[in-house]
Amino acid sequence: MNIFEKIKFYTAFISAKFIEKALQICKKQATSLPGMVATKIDNSFLHNISGYSKKEIITVTGTNGKTTTSGILAAILKSSGASVVHNQKGANMPQGIASALASGVSLFKKSDYFVLENDEAYLSKIYDDIKADYLVVTNLFRDQLDRYGELETTARKIRTAIDKNPNLKVVLNADDPMLHSLYTKNTLTYGFEDINMVDINPETHSAKENVYCQCSLPLNYTKSFYAHIGHYYCSCGYSRKVPDVAASAKVYKDKAELTVKYDGKSYTFIVNIPGLYNVYNALAAIAMGLLLKISPDKIQNALDRFQSVFGRAERIEVKGKPVFIQLIKNPVGASEVIRTISNNNKSGLLIAINDEYADGRDVSWLWDTDFEALASYENTIYVSGKRAYDMALRLKYAGFNENNIKVIQDVKAAVIGALESLPENQTLNILPTYTALLYMQEFLKKL
């Protein structure tokens, strides 16, 4: 950078720090505004600040699991003794990433790693400024069609980003056939050879895409884990690649046991977060950790200490009562979340649906979600948010007793009502969309 560029960068950096501090004093969220100001002052801010990583810049994208995967990976790197800058609040568009980097970077000391969760639609734009070393792709599911379009469109956007950096190392989920167009000469894959659901309903009714081979014939499956994730093949000879990091799993209600094979060695890991989808997230982070030659004991130490990011399978206490929060935003993710709670009638349930830009304006995905799996639920279900009545209608057609559906559009009032009616020794499950989750983050700890 010349002297003029340095002045612009330092001005942008200090301004972002100042705005972040001011927002914290005012007890406001600081996910995007500091980055917005920084990039206005210096339009090369992301490029310039990316130079503050000494070792590797690791990016994570995909429909579901970005936040949890990048969170576990950041924990693994920190467990190895490395310094890590990570957009842990989940703001994954350019301005949010700029905010996170401005917050985490020290002006006079470089960090070892950047771990950056990236929105699929903005990945190519981010790669214009940041030259990543690794890209982890978790999966591709139908999500926010008004923003992303069809899955092939999303895959093309990611591919465009990959093609901007021929030296990029790509880490892919081998069990997702929607990722076949993302393979490069520098690809490592991870996947499951077998999964045993121990005390969770083994049947999945997640919305399954009609997935086709490159030859245009429909794919077949020898094993189907959920949605279109599994062991696939085509009569033309195309099939799932044997993953470089191959695992088997026993999945319990609150944890999972993974046996992972890589580079001729076998390791066992315990993952203390619920849900098959989180088992995949953990494996993606473990694969990346092994690729970076981090020892298995350091990886397990990180898994033991990892705490779920707000709203992603997070357990907290509100007004002395246990609350379990799981973000929902598309049919597959929501159906798998429902599977984790479907066998537990001794719990409260609140579903909060908004339709802001960050949620997706189109809420037709509710009709592709397996709410029927909760049809035997006997307690009152609270529904809230701007599209509360759409959610209530969906539950009615899923077979719920209308007298057990209580609509309170104001999210805070709904949470208070659900907590007050919650019997002793029960947990309140809250399933919010993204902006409803952000709103709850502002008031839950104050109740």
Annotated catalytic residues are: 362
Q: Checking DSSP bridges between strand 169-173 and strand 187-197, what pairing results, if any?
A: parallel
11: number of Cβ within 10 Å: 13
Instruction: Tell me which residue has tokens 């993953």.
Output: 243
DSSP 181: G
Helix ranges (DSSP H) in 64-200: 66-79, 94-104, 123-129, 145-148, 151-163
In terms of C-beta density within 10 A (0-12 exposed, 13-18 middle, 19 or more buried), how is residue 138 classed? buried
**Residue 313 parent element (H or E):** strand 312-318
Q: In what order do the strands lie in the sheet with 169-173?
A: 84-86, 111-117, 53-61, 134-137, 169-173, 187-197, 245-251, 256-262, 265-271
* Polymer length in residues for the chain: 447
